[in-house]
Amino acid sequence: MTDLHWLPTVSDWRQRQRALTTAMPDPWAEAVSLANARIGFVLVNALDETLRRVFPTPPQGLQTKPIRLAVLGSSTLTHLLPAIRVAGVRRGLWIDAYENDFGQYMQELADPASGLHGFAPTAILFAFDAWHVSAGVTAGMDAAAAADALQAIVARIRDNWRQARASFRCPIAQQAIMPLHAPLLGNNEHRLPGSRAAFVARLNAALREAAETDGVDMIAVDDRAVRDGIGKWHDPGLWHRSKQEVAPTAAPMYGDLVGRWLAALQGRSFKCLVLDLDNTLWGGVIGDDGLEGIALGQGSALGEAFVAFQDYARELSRRGVILAVCSKNDEANALEPFEKHPDMVLRRGDIACFVANWSNKADNIRAIARELNIGLDSLVFVDDNPFERDLVRQELPMVAVPDVSDDPVGYAAALADAGYFEGLAVTDEDRARTGQYQGNKAREALKEAVTDLPSYLRGLEMRLIARRFDRVGLQRIVQLINKSNQFNLTTRRYTDEDVLAVLDDPRAFGLQLRLLDRFGDNGVIAIVIGRLREAGDLYIDTWLMSCRVLGRQVEPTTLNLIASEAAKLGATRLIGEYIPTKKNAMVRDHYPRLGFAPHNEVYCLDLRDFTPAETFIDVVEE
Amino acid sequence: MASEAEIYTALTEMFRDIFQRDDMELTPTLNARDVQGWDSFKQIEIVMASEERWGIKFRTRELDSLQSVGDLVAMIGRKTA
């Protein structure tokens, strides 16, 4: 894939791009935000045009060093410059880009009066096409002639590097040569000394070695083309038509590869990976499914996929990326797999900062940054839940939040393709980093911070579909009743027959509640069973809810529904009960929070005084 | 297959994005001489964006014969048939 698949789709992108002007309060922040949307090459070009109009010079107060990048090469590169500039803005970098006159890079390097010297670059990228560097190489060559040809081109390229460094004293990158030549022998292409395909492979290896010696960085389009398929990167028809070696459709990815190099030079790569737990590091919900119930490890494809993702995260930590955990869970539940599950790859010691509580994730991520003493703009947050992702993006736009699906097989690729943790060198200190953070960490409880939650909730456009129990929903109702442990007031387990009995009982009601929001359908997320007792009392026999939708006002909205159902049965008072278990501490204060008064081991709410709570959820009764 | 009207609707949005002109209207006879900035690079953008949008691939000869918006629409119509 050459599209920027880890970035979120922004629905009103076009209007916002058209509306970008210097007259806005913070046009640079808006530009950075627009550059962080999932857009193809046409819109990248459109954004670049706007950006160059709005920011012909670096914006005032820019936090990064402005960059003058010269892209020197042998073929058409013009179409890559917009993508490079936009990739810079994606990382808060302002880039002015220069391209040599077609084919004239050597002359311009040598001539102090050239446009290149006038431009005075602060960074240089050499981007040679595969035909240019393999000119003269032919299948008729013997081994000695091919070796000479290789040596000659490496020497020439190193000479370009030397000249560039002598003139401009700036960082230099060499784009690897694209592996686009068609093979002649086949599987054993390497045996043909004069094969251009084999030549490019050998040249890329030689360039990497030379770059190590000469202090030059690589832009690995060859590795990228292997991952994506060369057909995604190169279109032979276009090459013949316009001498564009990189197809315009691949330009956004090409630009991003360059952008992450430039950002890394300024120390602006991301440093810390913040991980959700339930359905991100393992399948299922630890608080409900328990240690034996979560999907992790051998025995299922899903379990193995989570192991593979954990392995990738641990490998990242071993090269210096800090790991943190941010999960909505009771801390004891969240820690249990780390301490006891035999298939966990990540251990508590791999996590520099471990936060599991029921506060909102934006606040918790702020706390993680504070505790690790790193900037919020160095955090990457991975969560399978689109609600949490969007909350964090909205509250903390500087935190990178890759758009992953709910399938763990894609998580490692999303992180790798996004290039968040681009590194130019690895030090011993990097390899020891997690240990340091771990040692320094004070495991204090996290303070609550203030977040503008109401405006967020309003924007979610939530709808709660309330249905009486029915046979269609039977399976899911029974499953929830028997599986939910945490948000479950009474933890009563019922069979199919028990549930069907409620359906037929004129003195009882059962409610199944489905929550929809602008991200889609969360499915049935709450179950309530009410039973009429003597003297107008309605006893809440069962009230359970999926923890996924905590903090979204589902609870008071559900109470409104219970009150109205109770009134239909002629009740004047609600009786709620909390039966403590090992897992349901989180709802200990559920009824007092909703305005119930304690009364002989249970809680009461007089319906004659009850005013339904106003919430941001629209209720649809079916 | 994509109907001619559908192709025009999608192409209009595409042209507006490529040329950054929200008032752009497409007609069958519209061609590079009529539109300021429609150079060979923009032509390639139009072709690549169309290929991506409809999941099709134009042959070199087809691209050589492309003269107007009408030609492009007809070609997309044939390839999505």
- CATH number of the domain to which A328 belongs: 3.40.50.1000
A151 and A88 within one domain: yes
* Confidence tier at A449 by pLDDT (50, 70, 90): very low
> Is residue A31 a part of any domain in this protein?
yes
Interface touch B41/A242, C-beta < 8 Å: yes
* CA atoms of A293 and A428, how far apart (whole Å): 39
Residues of A in contact with B44 (CB under 8 A): 79, 238, 241-242, 244, 248
Sheet of strand A353-357, all strands in order from the earlier edge strand to the far edge: A353-357, A322-328, A272-275, A379-382
Residues of B in contact with A247 (CB under 8 A): 48
* CA atoms of A4 and A166, how far apart (whole Å): 36
Report CA dihedral (A11, A15, A16, A17) to the nearest 10 degrees.
Answer: 110
Enclosing domain of residue B9:
4-79
A512 and A385 within one domain: no
A198 and A73 within one domain: yes
B45 touches chain A (CB under 8 A): yes
Interface touch B45/A14, C-beta < 8 Å: no
pLDDT of residue A194: 96
**CATH code of residue A219:** 3.40.50.1110
When CB atoms are compared, the residue of A18, A42, A50 closest to B18 is A42
Q: pLDDT at residue A446 above 50?
A: no
Q: How near does any CA of chain A get to the CA of B20, in Å?
A: 7
* CA atoms of A20 and A27, how far apart (whole Å): 7
Q: What percent of chain A has pLDDT over 70?
A: 95
> Is residue A19 a part of any domain in this protein?
yes
Is the CB of residue A370 less than 8 Å from the CB of residue A379? no
Is the CB of residue A574 less than 8 Å from the CB of residue A540? yes
- Reported as a single tens digit per residue, the pLDDT across A236-268 is 999 999 999 999 999 999 999 999 999 999 888
Q: pLDDT at residue A432 above 90?
A: no
Task: Search chain B and give the residue with CA nearest A237.
Answer: B60
Task: Search chain B and give the residue with CA nearest A235.
Answer: B48
Sheet of strand A123-127, all strands in order from the earlier edge strand to the far edge: A95-99, A67-73, A123-127, A172-175, A217-219
* Confidence tier at A438 by pLDDT (50, 70, 90): very low
* Confidence tier at A429 by pLDDT (50, 70, 90): low
- Reported as a single tens digit per residue, the pLDDT across A354-383 is 999 999 999 999 999 999 888 999 999 999
What does DSSP say about strands A602-606 and A573-576: parallel, antiparallel, or unpaired?
A: antiparallel
**Residue A513: enclosing H or E segment and its boundaries?**
strand A508-517
Interface touch A46/B45, C-beta < 8 Å: no
Q: Which of residues 5-44 of B touch A (CB under 8 A)?
A: 14, 17-18, 20, 22, 40-41, 44
Q: Which residues contact A354 (CB under 8 A, 6 or more apart)?
A: A324, A325, A331, A334, A335, A348, A443
**Considering only CB atoms, which residues of chain A are within 8 Å of chain B?**
14, 18, 40-43, 45-46, 49-50, 78-79, 237-238, 240-242, 244, 247-249
When CB atoms are compared, the residue of A43, A78, A79 closest to B17 is A43
- Reported as a single tens digit per residue, the pLDDT across A173-200 is 999 999 999 999 999 999 999 999 999 9
Q: Which two tokens stand for residue A57?
A: 């010079």
A275-279, A457-461, B8-12: segment of lowest average pLDDT: A457-461
When CB atoms are compared, the residue of A42, A50, A240 closest to B45 is A42
Q: Which two tokens stand for residue A338?
A: 């780390």
When CB atoms are compared, the residue of B20, B45, B52 closest to A49 is B20
pLDDT of residue A434: 52
B1 touches chain A (CB under 8 A): no
Number of domains in chain B: 1
pLDDT of residue A510: 96
pLDDT of residue A440: 38
Q: How near does any CA of chain A get to the CA of B39, in Å?
A: 12
A156 and A107 within one domain: yes
Residues of B in contact with A82 (CB under 8 A): none
Q: Please identify, among A265, A293, A326, the residue that sits at the C-terminal boundary of a domain.
A: A265
Enclosing domain of residue A470:
460-621
B60 touches chain A (CB under 8 A): yes
pLDDT of residue A454: 76
> Is residue A8 a part of any domain in this protein?
no
Compute the residue count for chain A.
Answer: 622
- Reported as a single tens digit per residue, the pLDDT across A478-530 is 888 988 889 999 999 998 888 989 988 999 999 999 998 877 777 889 999 99
> Is residue A7 a part of any domain in this protein?
no
- Reported as a single tens digit per residue, the pLDDT across A543-562 is 999 887 888 899 999 999 99
Q: Please identify, among A451, A475, A505, the residue that sits at the C-terminal boundary of a domain.
A: A451
When CB atoms are compared, the residue of B20, B41, B63 closest to A46 is B20
Count of beta carbons in the 10 Å neighbourhood of residue B27:
11
Task: Search chain B and give the residue with CA nearest A250.
Answer: B48
Residues of B in contact with A249 (CB under 8 A): 48, 52
Sheet of strand A462-468, all strands in order from the earlier edge strand to the far edge: A597-599, A602-606, A573-576, A537-545, A520-532, A508-517, A462-468, A617-621
Interface touch B17/A237, C-beta < 8 Å: no
A289 and A228 within one domain: no
Residues of B in contact with A237 (CB under 8 A): 60, 63
ipTM of this predicted structure: 0.94
* Confidence tier at A433 by pLDDT (50, 70, 90): low
Mean of per-residue pLDDT scores for chain A: 91
**CATH code of residue B57:** 1.10.1200.10
Report the pLDDT averaged over residues A313-330.
94
A261 and A324 within one domain: no
Q: Which two tokens stand for residue A143?
A: 């081994």
Q: pLDDT at residue A233 above 60?
A: yes
- DSSP secondary structure letter of residue A537: E
pLDDT of residue A441: 39
> Is residue A2 a part of any domain in this protein?
no
- DSSP secondary structure letter of residue A595: T
A517 and A431 within one domain: no
Interface touch B18/A49, C-beta < 8 Å: no
A500 and A599 within one domain: yes
Q: Please identify, among A223, A248, A265, the residue that sits at the C-terminal boundary of a domain.
A: A265
Q: pLDDT at residue A395 above 70?
A: yes
A154 and A100 within one domain: yes
A81-90, A229-238, A519-528: segment of lowest average pLDDT: A519-528
Report the pLDDT averaged over residues A140-159.
96
Number of domains in chain A: 3
A427 and A342 within one domain: yes
A237 and A315 within one domain: no
* Confidence tier at B1 by pLDDT (50, 70, 90): low
Q: How far is CA A589 from CA A572, A596, A597, A599, A603, in A?
A: 23, 10, 11, 14, 10
> Is residue A187 a part of any domain in this protein?
yes
